[in-house]
Structure formats: structure tokens, C-alpha cells
Amino acid sequence: MTSTTLMSDTALLDAAREVAHRAYVPYSHFPVGAALIDGEGHLVTGCNVENAAYGETICAERNAITTMVAQYGAQRISAIAVIGLKAAPCWPCGACRQVLREFQCERVIVEGPDGEPLSLPFEKILPYSFGPEALDEE
Ligand SMILES: [Zn+2]
């Protein structure tokens, strides 16, 4: 799915909800979808994909991010929307927050308890974070 137009937070959540229905979740029965807009305006989606070896499970957010890199070579994320079909809000887990940080994610959108989009700047969900610039040699 490709788009170079700006999307509303509601439309981004709708894209996340759509892909969540394709989640492979035979163990947790907890489908999650993520939809991101990369730095060039591409829309990329991902769902969680579980595995019988539980540790090999990949979250919806990281699935979308790896797809973004593979499809577009993008290295920035303007915004990501996350939907859990059985929980609202459904915030990214710690591992996904770190991976979002790698790609300078600017904003995270979840569905609030009232069904309305809830948007936060990324620094609010991962303050004092470790990132690539920490490895820069001076
Ligand atoms: Zn995660």
C-alpha cells in the first residue's frame, strides 16, 4: 500500500485496524496492527506475527518498520498508528519503542478509550532514550 498524501490520524488508525485483521496470533489471540508514514510520505502497514517458539514473534510495529526499510529504504518515521483489536489504547512495547527511536519517529497515535485518536510526541513515550548519535565518535 502506497500513499504520498498526508493522512489524518483517524485514517492512519483505520489502516492499522485493517491490517490487524490479518494478524497471525494463534497463541495470544491479541491482534495488533500498525500503520506508519515514513519521512517521504509513504504509508506502510504491519501486523503481529506469532511463532510456536514465542520469542520469534514480531510485533506489528517492527513488522511495519522492517517493511518500510525493505520497500522504500526509508530511515525516518513521521508518525505511527497502533491498534489492538482487543485493547484501547494499545501502546507500543518497549522493544518497539527502541526500534521506533532508531528511525527518529516523531509521533505515536493510538486509539483512546473513547475511540478517538490519541497522539503523543515520541519523546513522551521514550524519554531519555539511547539512539544512534550516542555511537558517534567525536
Ligand atoms: Zn512491540
Cβ pair 92, 100 in contact under 8 A: yes
* Annotated binding residue 52: yes
How many degrees, rounded to 5, is the angle at CA 1 between CA 112 and CA 60?
Answer: 45
- How many angstroms separate the alpha carbon of residue 35 from the centre of ligand 1? 13
Average pLDDT taken over every residue of the chain: 95
63 marked among binding-site residues? no
- How does pLDDT run across 34-89, given as a tens digit for each residue? 999 999 999 999 999 999 999 999 999 999 999 999 999 999 999 999 999 999 99
Fold of 9-135: Cytidine Deaminase; domain 2 (3.40.140)
Q: How many residues does the chain have?
A: 138
Instruction: Report how far ligand 1's centroid is from the alpha carbon of 17 (Å).
Output: 16
φ, ψ dihedrals at 58, nearest 5°: -120, 135
Cα of 96 from ligand 1 centre, angstroms: 4
Q: Is 49 annotated as a binding residue?
A: yes
Whether the Cβ atoms of residue 48 and residue 59 lie closer than 8 Å to each other: yes
- Ligand-binding annotation for 51, yes or no, is yes
Q: What percent of the chain has pLDDT over 70?
A: 96
Type of residue numbered 14: D
How far, rounded to the nearest angstrom, does the alpha carbon of residue 130 sit from its chain's CA centroid? Answer: 18
Catalytic residues: 61
Strand order in the sheet with 117-121: 43-47, 32-38, 77-84, 107-111, 117-121
Between the CA of 138 and the centroid of ligand 1 the distance, in Å, is: 33
**CB distance 59 to 97 below 8 Å:** no
